[in-house]
Structure 1
Amino acid sequence: MSAAGAFSLDQLMELAGLACAQTLATVYGKDKYPRVLVCCGPGNQGGDGLVAARHLGMFGYQPTIWMPKPGSKDIYKRLHSQCANMHIPTLDNSLDAMRDALSSHDVILDAIFGFSFKPPVRSPFDTALPLLSESSLPIVSVDIPSGWDVERGNAEGVGLEPDVLISLTAPKEGVKAFTGRHFLGGRFVPKTLEEKFQLNLPPYPGFDQIVELPRVSGSQKL
């Protein structure tokens, strides 16, 4: 996610995180799935997760954050402080803490790796991803499932297989094989950018920040 169209990174991350929170809330209502384990990587993807955690807290969910390698940028630290100010707990960064948390949560928000990820999956995430997959909890992935290549998808077979995907701005080439529920978030995309890259974006309903994409022959397309 780049700061394009005169938007600052803060603005883009805030809007992206809000779209992620709205997607999870749309599919997994807080009455049945109140406890959300938000798994954040050290990059912009993790920042989106922190924003989503804050909004989920405002929506009435009970989010908990796990980030084994917190981002070092000032924006990441500020986003984490905002969550702390909402009394959203953060686990210690050990795998044991994450493993224990899986048994007391209802749904996972995967904000670990973004579209710039390139295999192989390195420690501690090489152990964390299988634990998340084996938990049998529903998973909502941000932009692209963690462990997937932006162009080749889950060709290595090491990535998560989420139930729900929220693509940001536009779906990535590598998610053509994704067969779960697929949402698009990116109502912030300016007309000039949409026209330049011929994004062919669908209309967003009402004042929603997300739109669900249709399933076409086992995959989602615009």
Structure 2
Amino acid sequence: MYKTRQGTAQFNASKTEVATIETELLRDYRFGQQQLIEIWGHACAVAITKAFPLSSLSKKQPTLLVVCGPEQNGSIGLVCARHLRIFEYEPTIFYPKRSTQSLHQDFTIQCEKMDIPFLSYLPTEVQLLNDAYNLVIDAIMGPEADHNDVKEPYAGMLVTLKQVKVPIVSVDVPSGWDADEPDKDGINPEVLVSLTAPKKCATGFSGKHFLAGRFLPYDIQKKYELNLPEFPGTDCVIQL
């Protein structure tokens, strides 16, 4: 638990609680998986525009690298990249193990149709990443991932990301972290965008922390005592 800027007691969810909430959204509230991914990806893009406005980016072009994993978090990254392109940023995507699910393939095609480039490999020369991009978006692993069993190519990717000097934005859970406890050895994002509710690993996170949970039905918020903060105006995200 921690306090938001509004002084509201904030709930930090375990990976089990997050999975249960998502199951209820899909089964009982009739949300579609594609709908949820779209909501989350759009909210991540909005959070990034708040943390890094176009005018604040130092390089000549507003270039971003979006690194996507094979599961749901990767698809959230794809949606985020698409919306960032609409917001006039210049995303490039690295998506080394593309999902065979048609839902995830649809998000890939949408990015390709918007002429968002895909890298064929992630440079291991960290300086290349620092020189080419203003920031990196980590959409590799979600809350369900086993941080003790990170396989290639992701283990090597995390080694590279730990060394980059440009800011990292992590989607929901910083890759390599256990969702249920803070991590001291993983990547060190400057910005974290929590989806639905902050995870237990976000307790004490010292960077900029955004929450994308406004879409949640009130009954679910009450049932799980999420105690979400009051979102300003019509914003879909809030900085905690």
Q: Same fold (TM over 0.5)?
A: yes
Deviations 1:80-104 (A, max 9, x none): 1000111101111x33389645531
User: 1:182 is paired with a residue of what secondary structure?
Assistant: strand
What pairs with 1:2-151 in structure 2 (closer than 5 Å)?
2=22, 4=25, 5-33=29-57, 34-92=62-120, 94-96=121-123, 100-118=128-146, 119-151=148-180
Deviations 1:47-87 (A, max 9, x none): 10000000000000000000111122111100010001111
Aligned-pair CA distance for 1:31? 3.2
Kept in 2, the 8 Å contact 1:40–1:110? The answer is yes
2:11 is aligned to none
2:228 is aligned to 201
Asked if 1:179 is matched to 2:203, the reply is: no
Aligned-pair CA distance for 1:179? 0.9
- Of 1-10 and 47-56, more deviation after overlay is shown by 1-10
CA distance in 2, matches of 1:28, 1:163: 11
Kept in 2, the 8 Å contact 1:40–1:66? The answer is yes
Aligned-pair CA distance for 1:177? 3.2
Q: CA 1:26/1:98 → structure 2, altered by over 3 Å: closer, same or farther?
A: farther
Structure of greater relative contact order (alpha carbons < 8 Å, 6+ residues apart): 2
Aligned-pair CA distance for 1:105? 0.8
Q: Percent identity?
A: 40
CA distance in 2, matches of 1:91, 1:113: 19
Q: CA 1:39/1:133 → structure 2, altered by over 3 Å: closer, same or farther?
A: same
CA distance in 1, matches of 2:47, 2:155: 27
CA distance in 2, matches of 1:140, 1:95: 17
Aligned-pair CA distance for 1:107? 0.5
The one-letter code sitting in structure 2 at the alignment partner of 1:109 is I
Aligned-pair CA distance for 1:32? 3.8
- Of 38-47 and 100-109, more deviation after overlay is shown by 100-109
**Which sections of structure 1, spanning at least 5 residues, go unmatched?**
214-222
Kept in 1, the 8 Å contact 2:142–2:175? The answer is yes
Q: CA 1:98/1:35 → structure 2, altered by over 3 Å: closer, same or farther?
A: farther
User: Normalized against structure 2, the TM-score is what?
Assistant: 0.83
1:219 is aligned to none
The one-letter code sitting in structure 2 at the alignment partner of 1:30 is L
The one-letter code sitting in structure 1 at the alignment partner of 2:41 is G
Deviations 1:95-120 (A, max 9, x none): 33896455311111110000001123
CA distance in 2, matches of 1:128, 1:193: 36
Measured on the aligned residues, the alpha-carbon RMSD in Å equals: 1.6
1:217 is aligned to none
Kept in 2, the 8 Å contact 1:23–1:183? The answer is yes
CA distance in 1, matches of 2:119, 2:92: 7
The one-letter code sitting in structure 1 at the alignment partner of 2:153 is P
The one-letter code sitting in structure 1 at the alignment partner of 2:182 is G
CA distance in 1, matches of 2:178, 2:123: 27
User: 1:152 is paired with a residue of what secondary structure?
Assistant: coil
